[in-house]
């Protein structure tokens, strides 16, 4: 691939999820958005975290591709992980392009990533979560999972993106297109027919 996937600086950087005293609930639909470096679509900055010295260590973004092609600018010194969460399949990079369908995860590198939808037959958005982390630290994982009832979370789960169903922790309930940014020490949630994407590590 000639392009790769690391993250850019978020609009509202916050401390590491592990440093947070309380779980926070975000609606992806109302987060601020900015245009892609080229092509049709936009990016929503979900979350950013720092390392023990206070330096930027990683970020999580949502890319919503509207047209047949889009280019996302990335930090060239980071590692990027892409996860397809909805809409038509996207081809990532060139020479050769790799198909990113729903619930597939791939890793890439570089200062930008090119996204194409050559077989697009509808105006539906393709949604891709982009995890970017500093190359010198262990890179977190993006993991798809089904949650039901009292559900145990993998160790060091930082965030839960709800794709369908409901996920509740304390007084907060996340539904489709919501993200729960978890407080340090969160090990279980209550779920009802939930399909989620977990940020772990």
Mean pLDDT throughout 50-64?
Answer: 86
| Other Cβ atoms closer than 10 A to 101 | 11
18-24 — which CB contacts under 8 Å span 24+ positions? 18/49, 18/156, 18/158, 18/184, 19/49, 19/184, 20/181, 20/182, 20/183, 20/184, 21/183, 21/184, 22/183, 23/169, 23/170, 23/172, 23/180, 23/181, 23/182, 23/183, 23/186, 24/172, 24/180, 24/181
pLDDT at 104: 94
| Predicted confidence (pLDDT) per residue in 127-148, tens digit | 999 999 988 778 899 999 999 9
For residues 16, 21, 25, 28, the Cα torsion angle rounded to the nearest 10 degrees is -10
pLDDT at 96: 81
CB distance 85 to 176 below 8 Å: no
| Predicted confidence (pLDDT) per residue in 146-193, tens digit | 999 999 999 999 999 999 999 999 999 999 999 999 998 899 999 999
| Predicted confidence (pLDDT) per residue in 82-97, tens digit | 999 999 899 998 778 8
For the record, the structure tokens of 16 come out as: 């590491």
Structural domains of the chain, with CATH: 32-134 (2.60.120.10), 141-200 (2.60.120.10)
């Amino acid at each position: 691939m000639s392009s790769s996937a690391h993250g850019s600086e978020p609009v509202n950087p916050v401390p590491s999820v592990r440093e947070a005293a309380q779980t926070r609930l975000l609606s992806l639909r109302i987060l601020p958005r900015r245009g892609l470096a080229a092509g049709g679509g936009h990016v929503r900055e979900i979350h950013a975290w720092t390392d023990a010295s206070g330096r930027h260590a990683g970020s999580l973004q949502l890319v919503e591709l509207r047209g047949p092609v889009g280019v996302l600018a990335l930090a060239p010194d980071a590692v990027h992980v892409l996860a397809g969460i909805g809409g038509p399949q996207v081809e990532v990079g060139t020479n050769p392009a790799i198909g990113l369908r729903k619930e597939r995860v791939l890793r890439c590198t570089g200062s930008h990533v090119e996204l194409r939808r050559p077989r697009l037959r509808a105006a539906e958005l393709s949604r891709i979560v982009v995890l970017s982390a500093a190359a010198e630290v262990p890179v977190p994982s993006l993991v798809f999972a089904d949650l039901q009832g009292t559900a145990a979370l993998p160790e060091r789960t930082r965030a839960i993106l709800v794709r369908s169903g409901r996920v509740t922790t304390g007084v907060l309930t996340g539904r489709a297109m919501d993200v729960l940014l978890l407080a340090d020490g969160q090990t279980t949630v209550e779920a009802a027919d939930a399909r989620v994407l977990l940020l772990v590590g």
